[in-house]
Amino acid sequence: MYGNLLKEERLLKIIKMKKTINYSWILSMLFVLVVIPVSCSKESAKENPQPETNLPIKISGIHANIDTKTTLDGVVTSWVANTDIVGIYSPQARMAPGGGGPTIVNTQFFAATSALSTFFVGTMFWGAANTSHTFYAYYPYAAGSPASTAVPVSLPAAQTQSAANSTAHIGALDFLVATPVTVTSPNNTNPVADEVNLKYNHLFTVLEFQIKGTGQLKAVKLSANNTLAFSGGTINITQATPAANVAYTFASQTGKSNEAVVTLTTPATLTATNTDTKVYMVINPGTPTGDCLVELSVDGTNWTYLLKSAPVGGFKRGIKYVVSVDASSASTLGAGEVISVTGRIWMDRNLGASRVATSIDDADAYGDLYQWGRLTDGHQLRTSSSTGDLLGTINPGHANFIYNPSSPYNWFNTIDNSLWQGTSGINNPCPSGFRLPTETEWNNERSTWATYNSAGAFASPLKLPAAGYRNGANAIFVNIGEGGHYWSSNVASSSARHLLLLHFDASFANLYRANGLSVRCIKD
């Protein structure tokens, strides 16, 4: 199941201004179309001089050190006229001539033509003569007037590709930030100012899955223990451009996900040749530890899986990586099973749940609440009655939840640490071949989550809901929809260890065994 290292593809290629373009760096030409009535004669110019602040700013791109730039072959899309828009900022430049009007805050510049290389159209003037002007820019344009230190940015976990080998969807996922440029405004009466050169840099990473095998392919999923996608965030585009391939720093990221999925609108038919079927995914750069989980689906619902080693040094910004996949070597999960980035197989839902959680507060996915060490005898049902009568046996012989507010705070009057140990545990409630996870196994899973809290737990392949718990002192239900409480097989004196999931934390703690908690089983 373990594949070769993800290969980093670095091909030198001379390019002009492009859009999503050869994914390492990009230059763009922006041009201000403002009519300045000037005479062609020197004498006339002297008689009717243009004040320096009346000069429109002409912005264009140049190819700096083209022979040293690493670009990518085969990931090229064109700018689209009047559709592709960049946002420009300048604290010194103005929207009106003569130093008038507001400063430049997220001013739109439109692609003038549909081509790999194009001028952009917008309006911007020098604010004052012979003074420093700094320019910041990004793509794609976001409406409104966000501060240059908090430009909106996102990268969806769910991505759609029209058909195998198509790269058309990458443009909508791309995000570029220009290297800040400072120039001195002119001190003469030339009708057009000197050009301001902007070089754009990619934020993200592209993966090219080359897949061979037989049958159909509908979707490809990647999971790793770092953030691959995020639903919202901001970036400070005034920050210094990081070194080549080094990631930008985000001002904020929300809705982090450690998995990304590309769904093919038209399913592909796999062949014996890898390059016949290519699927492209855009991810957030980062350095995962351990293996990456690659999953394949013929219908978007049922998955096979294999593990791939992450590239040395992680996924770098502005680089395309080729991931070779042999679908015939993928393993199949059993019904009701899910695999995590750790390579461990778990049940895909809590014991007693009717389905995999669709949200963190999905009541149908909460499942039952077990007292530690007790078998499946009906006490775990949320509708079960309760009693305060303790018994001296590990098999109470009834379906009541047994509460106990005094020592030993257990559901029977002694302590037995062997009840839930391994698949052969006396009262193991899990299906054949499954058991309660140890605290170490829970911690290994937690370490792969994008965030250490209930949101990270739900965003993980385990889809852990906030099912709450049943208080062992009085049988009252607590924290339903607000927190997750999951037993481990580890014990601590008269208590047992559990994983506590809250909106601000995911941690381990002792809890008396009379409490009723969720159980998620792991394959032995």
Q: Element (H or E) spanning 458, and its range?
A: helix 454-459
Look at phi and psi of residue 301 and say left if phi exceeds 0, alpha if psi is from -120 to 50, else beta. Answer: alpha
Q: Are residues 366 and 514 in the same domain?
A: yes
* Positive or negative torsion for Cα 304, 307, 311, 315: positive
Q: Are residues 328 and 357 in the same domain?
A: no
337 domain residue, yes or no: no
394 domain residue, yes or no: yes
CA atoms of 454 and 465, how far apart (whole Å): 8
Question: pLDDT band for position 74 (50/70/90)?
Answer: very low
Give me the phi and psi of 43, to 5 degrees please: -65, -45
Q: Are residues 382 and 240 in the same domain?
A: no
Give the domain-ending residue among 332, 366, 398.
332
Residue 99 confidence (pLDDT): 82
Report, as an integer, the average pLDDT of 383-392. 93
Please report, as a single letter, which amino acid is at residue 3.
G
Q: Are residues 11 and 115 in the same domain?
A: yes
Question: Residue 273 CA to chain centroid, in angstroms?
Answer: 30
Beta strands across the sheet bearing 477-478:
370-371, 516-517, 469-470, 477-478
Q: Is 70 exceeded by the pLDDT of residue 13?
A: no
323 domain residue, yes or no: yes
Question: What is the percent of the chain where pLDDT is above 90?
Answer: 63
339 domain residue, yes or no: no
Q: Are residues 325 and 453 in the same domain?
A: no
CA atoms of 226 and 213, how far apart (whole Å): 29
Q: Are residues 289 and 388 in the same domain?
A: no
Look at phi and psi of residue 252 and say left if phi exceeds 0, alpha if psi is from -120 to 50, else beta. Answer: beta
Q: Are residues 319 and 358 in the same domain?
A: no
Q: What is the DSSP string of 91-141?
A: EEEESSSTT-S-EEEEEEEEESSSBSS--EEE--B-SSTT-EEEEEEEES-
Tokens 């400070």 locate to 236
Global model pTM greater than 0.95 = no
* Positive or negative torsion for Cα 110, 114, 118, 119: negative
391 domain residue, yes or no: yes
Q: Are residues 418 and 290 in the same domain?
A: no
Q: Are residues 189 and 328 in the same domain?
A: yes
Average per-residue pLDDT for the chain: 83
Question: Residue 505 CA to chain centroid, in angstroms?
Answer: 20
Domain count, the chain: 2
Of the listed ranges 55-59, 303-307, 354-358, 401-405, the least confidently predicted one is 55-59
Question: pLDDT band for position 59 (50/70/90)?
Answer: very low
Report, as an integer, the average pLDDT of 476-499. 97
Give the domain-ending residue among 332, 361, 386.
332
Q: Are residues 225 and 288 in contact, defined by beta-carbon separation less than 8 angstroms? A: yes
DSSP secondary structure letter of residue 53 = G
Q: Are residues 111 and 81 in contact, defined by beta-carbon separation less than 8 angstroms? A: yes
Structure tokens at 261: 């999925």
Question: pLDDT band for position 506 (50/70/90)?
Answer: very high
Beta strands across the sheet bearing 345-347:
337-339, 345-347, 522-523, 434-435
Of the listed ranges 197-201, 348-352, 488-492, the least confidently predicted one is 197-201
State pLDDT tens for residues 395-425: 899 999 999 999 999 999 999 999 999 999 9
Question: pLDDT band for position 193 (50/70/90)?
Answer: very low
The residues with which 500 forms a beta bridge, in sequence order, are 485, 507
CA atoms of 27 and 25, how far apart (whole Å): 7
Give the domain-ending residue among 332, 353, 368.
332
Residue 19 confidence (pLDDT): 38
Report, as an integer, the average pLDDT of 227-249. 95
277 domain residue, yes or no: yes
Structural domain including 489 reads 345-524
Q: Are residues 315 and 359 in the same domain?
A: no
Residue 39 confidence (pLDDT): 19
Q: Are residues 6 and 154 in the same domain?
A: yes
250 domain residue, yes or no: yes
Contacts of 481 by beta carbon, 8 Å cutoff, 6+ apart:
360, 361, 363, 466, 468
Q: Are residues 383 and 501 in the same domain?
A: yes
Q: Element (H or E) spanning 171, and its range?
A: helix 170-173
Residue 185 confidence (pLDDT): 85
Question: pLDDT band for position 78 (50/70/90)?
Answer: low
CA atoms of 79 and 386, how far apart (whole Å): 67
CA atoms of 109 and 60, how far apart (whole Å): 12
26 domain residue, yes or no: yes
Q: Is 60 exceeded by the pLDDT of residue 518?
A: yes
DSSP secondary structure letter of residue 333 = P
Helix (H, G, I), strand (E, B) or coil at 196: strand
Question: pLDDT band for position 20 (50/70/90)?
Answer: very low
Helix (H, G, I), strand (E, B) or coil at 323: strand
Q: Is 90 exceeded by the pLDDT of residue 316?
A: yes
